Structure 1
Amino acid sequence: MKTTKNRWFIALSAIAIHLSIGAAYAYSVYTNPIRDTMGWSTTEITLAFTIMMALAGIAAAFFGSFVERNGPRKSAMLAALLFGLGQAGSGVAIAVDSQLLFLLTYGVASGLGMGLGYISPVSTLVKWFPDRRGLATGMAVMGFGAGALITAPIAASLMQSIGITTTFYILGISYFLVMIAGASYIAPPPEEWMPDEMKKNIASGKTVVKKDLSQLTAKEAVRTRRFWMLWTMMLINTTAGIMMISVASPMAQEVVGLSAAAAATMVGIMGIFNGGGRLGWAALSDYIGRPAIFLLFFVLQIIAFLTLPVTTNVLLFQALILVVVSCYGGGFSNLPAFIGDLFGTKQLGAIHGFLLTTWSLGGILGPLLVSQIRERTESYIPVFYVFTALIIFAFFVSIFLRLDIKKSEKVKQQKQTEGIA
C-alpha cells in the first residue's frame, strides 16, 4: 500500500500537540498576576495546577484504550477541545471571579486534555519510525518540555499589555488551533510499514531487524513482571526528578549559598536540560538500547546524590542537579520506545497510559518526601541520602529487567532455531 504521508510531518504534528499541552508548565507566570488582581490566595491558585497535573497522569491511563479504539486523530482532536476549553475557560473564570470555575477549567478540563494529548500521537510515532523509535518519541516529548519555555514570556507580555482574561482567551484559542492542525495530519502507517532506506539495508544485510520481545495487549502486559519492573524504575526516576525540580532554587541557596538571582537562572537552565535530555537520551537509546540507557540514568544519579551533600563547589552542585533533571526528561522520552521493545505496538498507547500513572504518583511523592524530610530535619542533606537509597534500588531493578530481557531473547531464539530445524 502506498502512503502519501510524510513521517517527518507526522513528527512535527506530534511536536505541535506536545508544545501546546506542555505550555501548562508555565503556570507559575499566572500566580502573582491572578493573586494581585483577584485577591485569591497563592494556595487556592496553585490548587488548579495540582489538580491538572494529578489528572494528566490519571487521564493518560484512563484514555489509553480510547486512543487504541478511536485512533490518534480523533483522540488528539478531543484533547485539543478539552485543553483549549480549559485554558480559554480560565479566562471566563477570572472574568466572573469564580475560583470553582477556575479549578474546573484550568484544573480538570486542561488536565484531561493534557493526559489525552500526551499519549495520542506517541504510539503512531513509534510505528512510523521503526528504525528510530527513540529519536521519534524524543522529538515529541522534547516539545512537551519546551512548551513552557515558549509560553512563559509570551503569557507574561500579554498579561501586561491586555490583561489576564484576554490572555487566557488568546492562548486557549491558539492552543486549540495548533493542536487541531497537528491532529488533522496524524494517521497510523499501513500495516508492517517500513521506510525505503530500512528495506534496502535489510535486503543488503546491512541492518538486522530486531523483533519486539512480544506483542501483548494492555491487559496481558500488566500481568507481566517486566511491566512492573519498568513501572518501578519510572516511578523512582520521576519522583527524583520532580523532587529536584520542586526545590532546586531554595536547595541550592541553602546548601551551597547560591544567590537568589543565580538560582533563578539555574531554574531556567533546568528547563533546557529537561527538554534537551528528552531528545538527547532518546536518540542515544537507538544506538545503545533502552535497558542500557536506564542503567546509565541510575548510575549517574547515584553519583549525583552521593556527591551533592559533600560538595561545596557551586558549579559542580548545579551541574549535578542538571544531570538529575536531564535523566528525568530522558525517562519520559525513552518510555514509549521501551514499551514497543518489550510489549510491541499492538496496544502501545494503552500500555503507555498505564505506565504514566508514575507521572501523577511521582508528582505527589517527590515534593511530599522532600518537604517532610526538610521540615523534620531542618536540612536538605538527608534528602540526598534517602534518594540515593531509592535510586540504588531502581538500579538493581533495571539490572534484573535487563537479565530478564536477555533470558527471554535467548528462549525466543532457541524456539526459532528449533522451528527451522
Structure 2
Amino acid sequence: MKKNRWLIALSAIAIHLSIGSVYAYSVFKNPMSDALGWNSKEVTLSFTIAIAFLGLSAATLGKLVEKWGPRKSAMIAAILFSSGLIGASFAISQESLTLYYLTYGVLGGIGLGVGYIAPVSTLVKWFPDRRGLATGMAVMGFGAGSLIASPVAAELISVVGLSKTFLILGLTYLVLMVAGASYIVRPPEGYLPKGMEEGAQTNKKKKIKTDLSQLTANEAIKTNRFWLLWVMMFINISSGIMLISIASPLGQEKVGMSVVAAASMVGIMGFFNGLGRIGWSSISDYLGRSNVFTLFFSVQFILFLLLPNITNPILFQLFIFIILSMYGGGFACLPAFIGDLFGTKQLGAIHGYLLTAWSCAGIFGPMLVATINDATQSYNVTFYIFAILLVVALATSVVMRLSINSEKKKNAEVTQSA
C-alpha cells in the first residue's frame, strides 16, 4: 500500500499531541494537593521524574528505536505512556505517592522519550526537501498538546475527579497514539518526493542538498559538531525553560501585571512556543539551520540585556513571546539539523543523545533562577547571566558554521580527486 507522506505527518502529530499533554501538568498540582495532602514539591517531583526519563530513555533507547522501526516504537510508546497515566489513576485511588512516581514519572517518562523521537526521525526521511517544515509539524504537536489537554483535564477533574481523569486521558491517548502508530512507516530506500525526483532526473533548477556526512550515533558523538550542537541546544533550552518556570511571578513583580493577566500571558506563551516550532523550522529550510540558530542567539542576547530595565507590560510580554518562539523553534530545527550534519542513517539515536541537553537544561535553568532569586530577591542578575551564556552560544554557532564549511571543503576535495 502506497503511503501519503502528509498522512504520515498527521500520524506523527497525533502521537506528539498525546505525549505533549505532559506540559499541562500544572493543572493537576492544586487538585492533588487538596485531595491527597501531597505538598507542592511532592507533586512537582513526578513531572521532574517524567522529563528526566524522557531524556534518559531517548538517549539510551534511540538505537533500539532505529532497529524497531517507527511503527513498533510508536506502539511501544503508546502502551508505556498510556500505562503510566492509567497506573497513575490507580496510584491516586490508593493514595500512594511512590506508586504515582513509578507510573506517571518512570513508566510515562520512558513512553515520552520513545514517543518523542520515533515519529520525528521518520518524518525527516519522508521530507528530504522540507525537513524543517516536517519536523516542525510534529514538534508543534508536542507544544500544542498542553493547549488542548489543559482545559479538558481541568473540566474532567471537576466532573469525575482526579483518578478517573487520569484513566480517561490514558485510554484516550492510547487510542490516538495507536491510530498514529498504525500508519507511520519508513519511506522506501532512496525515496525522493516527486519534485526532487524530477530535479534528480533532469539535473535542472532543483538541486538536491546532500548531507554533510552519513554517520552512526557512535561516530557522530566523536565529532566536534555533535558537541557544538549539544551546547547550542542546552543554552537555548535553559533560556526558555527558565522563563517558563517563573513567567507568572515575573510578570507580576517586574511590570505589575495582575494574577489574571499573568496567567493569560502563560497561556499565550504556549501558543508562541507552538507557533515558533512550525514557523522557525520552516524558515530554516530557506535560511539554513546554522543561520537560524545564530539569529536566535543574537536576538535573545539583546532581549535578555534589555529585560531588567523593561517596565512596560506590553513590551515585556512581546520580548517573552519572541524568546519562547525561539525556544520552541530550537526543538523543531534540531532533527532537521541532525539530518543535515550526520545524515539519516541513525537519526533517531543521535536525536536521543542530543535530548540529554533538554534533561540537563530542565534542571539547570529553573534551579539557577530560583537560587539567584532567593539570594538577591531579584530576577535581574539571572537575565545578565543568561545574556553571557547566550554570547557563548552565539560563539558556538559561529564555530559550528566554520566546522561545517571546513567539512564541505573536505568533501568537495574528495569528490574532485575521485
Aligned pair 1:293/2:301, yes or no?
Answer: no
Deviation, 1:415, is 2.1
Q: Which residue of 2 aligns with 1:130?
A: 128
Aligned pair 1:244/2:274, yes or no?
Answer: no
The one of 95, 98, 104 aligned to 2:96: 98
Aligned pair 1:389/2:388, yes or no?
Answer: yes
Partners of 1:96 and 1:253 lie apart in 2 by 38
CA RMSD, 1 decimal: 0.9
Aligned pair 1:5/2:34, yes or no?
Answer: no
Structure 2 counterpart SS, 1:167: helix
Contact 2:199/2:208 (CA < 8 Å) preserved in 1?
Answer: no
Partners of 1:166 and 1:257 lie apart in 2 by 39
Deviation, 1:206, is 1.6
Deviation, 1:337, is 0.3
- The within-5 A match list for 1:188-203 is 188-203=186-201
TM-score by length of 2: 0.98
Deviation, 1:187, is 0.7
Deviation, 1:246, is 0.3
TM-score by length of 1: 0.98
Partners of 1:139 and 1:302 lie apart in 2 by 27
Post-superposition Cα deviations, 1:60-94, rounded to whole Å, max 9, x if no partner, equal 10110111111111111111011000011111111
Q: Which residue of 1 aligns with 2:360?
A: 361
Post-superposition Cα deviations, 1:97-126, rounded to whole Å, max 9, x if no partner, equal 111111111111110100110001111100
Post-superposition Cα deviations, 1:204-243, rounded to whole Å, max 9, x if no partner, equal 4121111100000000000000000000000000111100
Partners of 1:18 and 1:285 lie apart in 2 by 21
Contact 2:277/2:329 (CA < 8 Å) preserved in 1?
Answer: yes
**Structure 1: gaps of 5 or more residues:** none
Partners of 2:247 and 2:44 lie apart in 1 by 18
Q: Which residue of 2 aligns with 1:375?
A: 374
Partners of 1:140 and 1:8 lie apart in 2 by 11
Q: Which residue of 2 aligns with 1:119?
A: 117
Q: Which residue of 2 aligns with 1:345?
A: 344
Contact 2:14/2:176 (CA < 8 Å) preserved in 1?
Answer: yes
Q: Which residue of 2 aligns with 1:66?
A: 64
Partners of 1:123 and 1:68 lie apart in 2 by 9
Partners of 2:231 and 2:14 lie apart in 1 by 30
Partners of 2:253 and 2:209 lie apart in 1 by 49
Q: Which residue of 1 aligns with 2:223?
A: 224
Aligned pair 1:153/2:151, yes or no?
Answer: yes
**Structure 2: gaps of 5 or more residues:** none
Post-superposition Cα deviations, 1:380-400, rounded to whole Å, max 9, x if no partner, equal 111110000000000000001
Which one-letter code corresponds to 1:227 in the other structure? F
Q: Which residue of 2 aligns with 1:30?
A: 28
- The within-5 A match list for 1:41-80 is 41-80=39-78
Deviation, 1:203, is 3.5
Partners of 2:370 and 2:29 lie apart in 1 by 21
Q: Which residue of 2 aligns with 1:85?
A: 83
Greater displacement, 162-171 / 338-347: 162-171
Which one-letter code corresponds to 1:373 in the other structure? I
Post-superposition Cα deviations, 1:12-61, rounded to whole Å, max 9, x if no partner, equal 11000000000011111111111111222222111111111111111110
Partners of 2:254 and 2:194 lie apart in 1 by 54
Post-superposition Cα deviations, 1:225-272, rounded to whole Å, max 9, x if no partner, equal 000000000000011110010001111211221221111111000000
Partners of 1:354 and 1:223 lie apart in 2 by 12
Q: Which residue of 1 aligns with 2:234?
A: 235
Contact 2:46/2:104 (CA < 8 Å) preserved in 1?
Answer: yes
% of aligned pairs identical?
A: 58
Which one-letter code corresponds to 2:245 in the other structure? S
Greater displacement, 357-366 / 36-45: 36-45
Post-superposition Cα deviations, 1:356-395, rounded to whole Å, max 9, x if no partner, equal 0011000000001101111111111111100000000000
Which one-letter code corresponds to 2:254 in the other structure? V
Partners of 1:303 and 1:41 lie apart in 2 by 38
Which one-letter code corresponds to 1:207 in the other structure? K
Greater displacement, 3-12 / 387-396: 3-12
Which one-letter code corresponds to 2:417 in the other structure? E
Q: Give the total of aligned pairs.
A: 417
Structure 2 counterpart SS, 1:121: helix
- The within-5 A match list for 1:204-215 is 204=202, 205-215=204-214
Q: Which residue of 1 aligns with 2:174?
A: 176
Partners of 1:415 and 1:163 lie apart in 2 by 65
Which one-letter code corresponds to 1:52 in the other structure? A
Q: Which residue of 1 aligns with 2:253?
A: 254
Q: Which residue of 1 aligns with 2:326?
A: 327
Partners of 2:38 and 2:362 lie apart in 1 by 24
Partners of 1:146 and 1:244 lie apart in 2 by 18
Partners of 1:215 and 1:303 lie apart in 2 by 36
Q: Which residue of 2 aligns with 1:108?
A: 106
Deviation, 1:165, is 1.2
Q: Which residue of 1 aligns with 2:185?
A: 187
Q: Which residue of 2 aligns with 1:336?
A: 335
Partners of 1:318 and 1:85 lie apart in 2 by 38
Which one-letter code corresponds to 1:193 in the other structure? Y
